[in-house]
Amino acid sequence: MQSMFSRATLFRTKRPDADLTRPSGLLPVLTAWDLTLLGIGCIIGTGIFVLTGIAAAEQAGPAVVLSFVVSGFACAFAALAYAELSSSVGGCGSAYGYSYAAFGEFMAWIIGWDLVLEYGVSVAAVANGWSGYFNTGLAGLTQKLHDWYGLNIDLTLPMQLTRGPFAHDPVTHLATPGIVNLPAVAIILILMGILIVGIKQSARLNTVMVIVKLSTIAIFLAVSVGHIQPSLWTPFMPFGWFDTLPDGKTVGVLAGASVVFFAYVGFDAVSTAVEEAKNPSRDVPIGILSSLVFCTIIYIIVSGVLTGIVPYSSLNVKEGSPVAYALQQIGFNGASILVSTGVIFGLTTVMLVLYYGLTRIIFAMSRDGLLPATLGEVNEKTHTPVRTTVICGVVMAVMAGFIPLGTLAELVNIGTLVAFVLVCIGVIVLRRRYPDMKRPFEAPFGILIPILGVLSCGALVFFLPFLTQLRFVLWLLVGLVIYFAYSVHHSKLRADTK
């Protein structure tokens, strides 16, 4: 027993190229273009329609564009680290696989367990948001049918079918129970079917939906640009870089950066597609970096235009979208339908990519013996891990349909930052341990980039609520119980080194 839990056992590492050579059964069909669109699909979601206005109103004012720049740089450091490790270490396990090579099995399990939380809860939480916008879209369509054609047909779903039995009002905290959040359950099960069919088909659907949501953003910009009033950008930094108000609230550009940072979450999911990329050492780094750069530019433009057409202080919209509110203020009557369409398609691609990433991470952990072997089986016809996809889909559908996810979803933020920090440290460790390892893509400026990634992402953790940090620790403790009860006994690396 003592030898099983010794330092050498817990921190045994895999060879960095261990996942580059062994067959997986997954089909390598994705191009750099496919991967870039996967990244865009996961990064641009509801954040661009909601978070831009809220961060401007509550934290940074017009200088929210600088908040996006700061967060973009923080993500860029992590993205460069991901790009290097995805090209050299490979594997579909993302940060889990990189940690296995850099820090050993114990830390790999910790980060893998972290990623399961990050991706799984994200899908269920996003499905809840998707449900709300879907019903809003149906309400808008109902109104238009009445206005245009005189039809009195109510297309909206009853309240009992849009919230679970434990739902409560986020403002009053009073219970508002329903039966089940039916749209949330339905969209997850639909995505489950799409992912089972095959990754190439999933990527094609993602491409179509990305085009639709980028088109809605283009319409917003085209409609709004003629209404920009430069005077609304003054004062540009009403709260400075960082300040604390008497009520304890943090404001300023840096506080805004810690909020809008989470609008960027998603580029790391591209690294889970390594074993399904045609030329992974080239295409995956392109997909990661291209999607991040493109989305950063889009966020900056949208936030700049948004604060230029209405006063930033009015964007603190508690109900609906700040973008829809701004469009209504300039007389665009189709605002609610436009935004609902963009959000519905935007959130659908976010769920699709995160769901995909979750199945590949679990697949990688199962292949290493840390989870049951049955989760690592690939269907011979579809070349996808069907059993894992179904299990994940059913669990997430139940979560989305019946369980309030507000508190749990906050854990996604800290989990993402911790993963980014460990990936950046992993670059430093592997460069020291394997200086001659083949690196098709190498982050520039030596170890400066990963160090900046550790510092910037680590600093953003500091701005998160203490209660969120505490809950994250409790989640990790649950993971430790599972590791010592099951994973350490079934590790294939442990068996191979006996």
Q: Specify the CATH number for the domain of residue 349.
A: 1.20.1740.10
In a domain, 323, yes or no: yes
Closest CA to 347 of 78, 72, 43, 109: 43
pLDDT of residue 287: 92
Confidence at residue 186, expressed as pLDDT on a 0 to 100 scale: 94
Element (H, E) at 18: helix 18-21
pLDDT, one tens digit per residue, over 245-291 is 777 677 788 888 877 776 777 788 888 888 888 888 889 899 999 99
pLDDT surpasses 60 at 4: no
Judge whether 17 lies within some domain.
no
- Residue in the block written with tokens 């440290």: 425
In a domain, 22, yes or no: no
Q: What are phi and psi of 167, to 5 degrees?
A: -70, 150
pLDDT above 90: percentage of residues in the chain = 15
493 pLDDT more than 90: no
Choice between 251 and 299, residue whose per-residue pLDDT is larger: 299
Give the per-residue pLDDT at 388: 93
Predicted local distance difference test score (pLDDT) of residue 2: 46
Residue 1 domain flag: no
Residue 6 belongs to a domain: no
Task: Give the lowest-confidence range in 227-236, 325-334, 452-461.
Answer: 325-334
Q: Quote the pLDDT of residue 362.
A: 93
The whole-number pLDDT of residue 318 equals: 57
For residue 1, what pLDDT is reported? Answer: 46
If one compares 262 and 377, the residue with the highest pLDDT of the two is 377
Confidence grade of residue 315 (pLDDT, cut at 50, 70, 90): confident
Structural domains in the chain (count): 1
Q: Using CA atoms, how far apart are residues 488 and 158, in angstroms rounded to an integer?
A: 48
What pLDDT does residue 336 have? Answer: 67
Classify residue 136: in a domain, yes or no. Answer: yes
Domain range spanning residue 78? 30-496
Q: How does pLDDT run across 96-116, given as a tens digit for each residue? A: 888 888 888 888 899 899 888
Please indicate, yes or no, if residue 60 is contained in any of the structural domains.
Answer: yes
pLDDT of the residue at 119: 87
Give the Cα separation of 401 and 352 in Å (integer): 17
Nearest residue to 280 via CA among 15, 34, 10, 25: 34
- What is the β-pairing status of strands 250-251 and 243-244? antiparallel
Mean pLDDT of the chain: 83
In a domain, 272, yes or no: yes
DSSP track, 220-270: HHHHHGGG--GGGG-SS-TT-S-EE-TTS-EESHHHHHHHHGGGSTTGGGG
Whether the Cβ atoms of residue 112 and residue 361 lie closer than 8 Å to each other: yes
pLDDT at 319 over 60: no
